[in-house]
Homo-oligomer: A and B are copies of this chain.
C-alpha cells in the first residue's frame, strides 16, 4: 500500500516533473491533481500541455483535476504552484492539516519553515514544531540555482569555514518554466539577467547553512555575490564559483571533503537519494550539462576544475540538474526524509 499524495499546480512545468518523477515511486502514489479554475473538472490528459519526454503516466492521465482547495484525499501535497498564488494556498493547506512540500519561494524565509536540502540541514526539520498549523506543516526546498551551490559548499563550510563566495551562473531554459524563454530570444544568444535570481542565490544558502539554535536558525554569515545568465541549454545549471575559506586547506583536502560527503538520505537509503551527493571530475573539461546532468538519477552535484585563485582561495565549476535535484526531485527527497523520520502522521 503506497502513500497517496496530491500535486498542487499539476499542469505547470514543475507539476509535470513531479508527476514524471513520482510515476514509479516505491512509496508514493499520486491520487489527486489540483490546478487553476480553468483546468478544474477536466481529465488531466485533456487539460495539460504535457511536454515531458516520457508519456503521461496512465494512472494520472485519467484523474480529474480539482481546484486548489484543501479537500484532497491525501495527507501529503507537493506544490509546484506559481509564486503569485502559492503563498496563500500553501498556508490554507497547512492549516487544514496537510503536509505541504513546496517548491515555491513564498514561505522559504518564514522563520518556522525549513528551507531544506536533506543532505545539508535535515536537523532544520525541527522548525516544524514551531509552526502553528496543527497536524499540517510547510517544508520548502531552495531555488534551482541555490541547491547545487549549497551542496558543494556544505562540506567546505563544515571542514574549513567559508568566508566569501562569488558565483556566476550559466542556467538552463527549463528553469524558466513553460513556455518560458522565446526561441527568438535565446538561440545564438545569452540573456544576462534572470529576474529575482541573484537575490535568492545570495540569501538562501545562508539560511540553509545556518545553525539550529533552539527554535530558530542562526544564519550563516558570509557574503555571496551572484551573477546569473540564461543560456541556450535545455537542462542543467552550470555555475562558476570562487571561494575564500576561513582555514587554509589544500586542493586535495577540498576534493576529499567533497568525495567523502554523505548525508542522512544516503544513510537512510532513501529512494531518490543519489548514492553519492557530490562527484568530483579530474578531467579539465568536466562537468558539462549534457554529460553529467542526469548523473545518479539527476540528483547528484558534479564538480570539476578545482584550482587556486589569485583573488579568492579556490575556484571551481559545479553542475546540477535544475528540474530534478533543483526542484521536483529535491522536494520529493524532502518528503522521503520526513516519512522516514516519521514526521508525518500517516
Name A's B-contacting residues (CB within 8 A).
51, 53, 164, 166, 168, 170, 173-174, 178-193, 202, 223-225, 227, 229, 231-234, 238, 240, 242, 284-291, 294, 304-305, 309-312, 315, 317
Contact = CB atoms under 8 A, between A and B. Distances in A.
Given A164-B311, A181-B183, A231-B231, A190 B225 contact: no
A139 to B, nearest CB: 28
Given A190-B231, A192-B285, A229-B240, 13 more contacts: A168-B240, A170-B231, A174-B184, A178-B184, A179-B182, A180-B184, A187-B188, A188-B233, A189-B233, A190-B233, A190-B288, A192-B238, A192-B317
A224 B309 CA distance: 9
A289 B190 CA distance: 6
B192 A305 contact: yes
Nearest to A287: B192
A180 B180 CA distance: 11
A159 to B, nearest CB: 22
A187 to B, nearest CB: 6
A330 B285 CA distance: 29
Nearest to A52: B291
Q: How many copies does the complex hold?
A: 4
A170 B229 contact: yes
Given A232-B183, A234-B187, A166 B311 contact: yes
Contacts of A189: 233, 288-291
Nearest to A164: B311
B291 A192 contact: no
A164 B187 CA distance: 33
Contacts of A315: 225, 227
A294 B294 CA distance: 15
A269 B180 CA distance: 42
Instruction: Sort A-B residue pairs by CB-CB distance and give the 9 closest, nearest first.
Output: A179-B182, A168-B168, A189-B290, A223-B310, A193-B285, A227-B240, A183-B183, A192-B317, A225-B311
Contacts of A202: 310
A227 B183 contact: no
Q: Which residue of A53, A223, A284 has the most chain B CB atoms within 10 A of its CB atom?
A: A53
Contacts of A242: 166, 225, 227
A313 to B, nearest CB: 11
A305 to B, nearest CB: 6
Q: Which residue of A168, A187, A305 has the most chain B CB atoms within 10 A of its CB atom?
A: A168
A223 B311 contact: yes
A182 B182 contact: yes
Contact of A183 (B187, B223, B224): B187
24 contacts: A51-B184, A166-B242, A166-B311, A168-B168, A179-B182, A179-B185, A182-B182, A182-B183, A183-B183, A183-B187, A183-B232, A184-B234, A186-B187, A189-B289, A190-B288, A192-B240, A192-B288, A192-B305, A192-B317, A193-B285, A227-B315, A231-B232, A232-B232, A232-B233
